[in-house]
Amino acid sequence: MALVDLESATMMESMRIDLDKDTGPLQAISQMAGVISNWEQLAQREIRGIVAGLAALHDASGTIVTWPNRPEWNGFAFRDTFAALVGKPIVLFDDANLGALGEYAFGLDHSVQQLLYVVVGTGIGSSLVLQGNLYTGARGASGELGHITVDPWGERCPCGGIGCLQMYASGRAMERIAQSKGLSITRASEVFHLASQGNETAQWIVTDSLRMLAIGISNAIRLFDPEVVVMGGGMASRFPDHYRSLEKHIQDFLGTLPQRNVSVKLSALGEDAALWGGIAYGLRMFGKIEELEGVRK
């Protein structure tokens, strides 16, 4: 969460609230609402609006349709309930979309026309920016890279699909696979640490996860032909050397296609990419800028 001064486009306050997997939606938004109220009193100015991001598919009303990693949130009217609690207008995005806007507006050191943003954390998401605008698809459901099929004979995903990339290359997947192979771990970060210590099982899990991720990203590159791919999310931020190696793997999968020379970069904004995307959208929403391209300048 961040409190932003629109005139200077700077963060006045920021806070991270860690929600464990059992935290329900009402409990979560109550915590956020409390922070917002405190910030408004501290700033002695009215907060004009809220830009929020969710790692879940939601409909036009802001109700969560499906959240594979938090199924107990499915059907929750997030936007209306949150807006009623804080008394502020809320614009709701997929968090990968906000991350893509953040990287496009603030993260890159040069202008591009097409950007593919991939976020790897407990799940996997993606978003495409074309000429400064998000491509959201006919139903607002584009960018579900984590739910493309990479193994047609694979495991059933909580989304209902079979063999989804998220089941093999996300943080949650690495935890599940490691535990099934007898490793005593509770977090994906422990798998990386074991791999660095020479544990062969952990090394195999990390290698296979990155291979599956490279397959998924390669397919997205073939389809959209972006100028640059930006890797973001908690996993890429904490283990940059591993995710930096994706460029070579992706180029191998692309063979001799023209897209094989696509640049694959780590996020410059890290886990704050979605926050900066919210700032970029807020600046445009409140008329401080006309185009996101102008933010970087």
Cα(257)–Cα(37) distance, integer angstroms = 53
User: Do 262 and 205 sit in the same domain of this protein?
Assistant: yes
pTM summary value: 0.84
Helix axis angle, 273-285 relative to 95-102, nearest 10°?
Answer: 80
Cα(291)–Cα(283) distance, integer angstroms = 9
Q: Report yes or no: 216 and 229 within 8 Å, Cβ to Cβ.
A: no
- 51 falls within a domain: yes
Cα(247)–Cα(74) distance, integer angstroms = 35
User: Do 120 and 227 sit in the same domain of this protein?
Assistant: yes
Cα(15)–Cα(3) distance, integer angstroms = 9
Give SS3 for 263.
Answer: strand
pLDDT at 136: 82
Alpha-carbon distances of 242 from 64, 72, 147, 179, 208, rounded to whole Å? 33, 33, 22, 21, 12
User: Chunked in runs of 10, what are the mean pLDDT values of the chain (297 residues)?
Assistant: 86 87 90 93 88 88 88 94 93 90 88 90 90 80 89 90 95 95 93 95 96 95 92 91 91 86 89 89 74 52
User: Do 259 and 281 sit in the same domain of this protein?
Assistant: no
Q: Domain count of the chain?
A: 2
What CATH code is carried by the domain that includes residue 283?
3.30.420.40
User: Do 218 and 148 sit in the same domain of this protein?
Assistant: yes
Angle at 125 between CA 231 and CA 14, to 5 degrees: 75
Cα(225)–Cα(259) distance, integer angstroms = 6
pLDDT at 86: 93
pLDDT at 291: 57
- 147 falls within a domain: yes
Domain carrying residue 187: 110-267
pLDDT at 24: 92
- 104 falls within a domain: no
Angle at 14 between CA 8 and CA 16, to 5 degrees: 155
User: Do 125 and 262 sit in the same domain of this protein?
Assistant: yes
pLDDT at 255: 87
User: Do 119 and 21 sit in the same domain of this protein?
Assistant: no
User: Do 155 and 200 sit in the same domain of this protein?
Assistant: yes
- 103 falls within a domain: no
What single DSSP character describes residue 63? B
User: Do 153 and 238 sit in the same domain of this protein?
Assistant: yes
User: Do 52 and 117 sit in the same domain of this protein?
Assistant: no
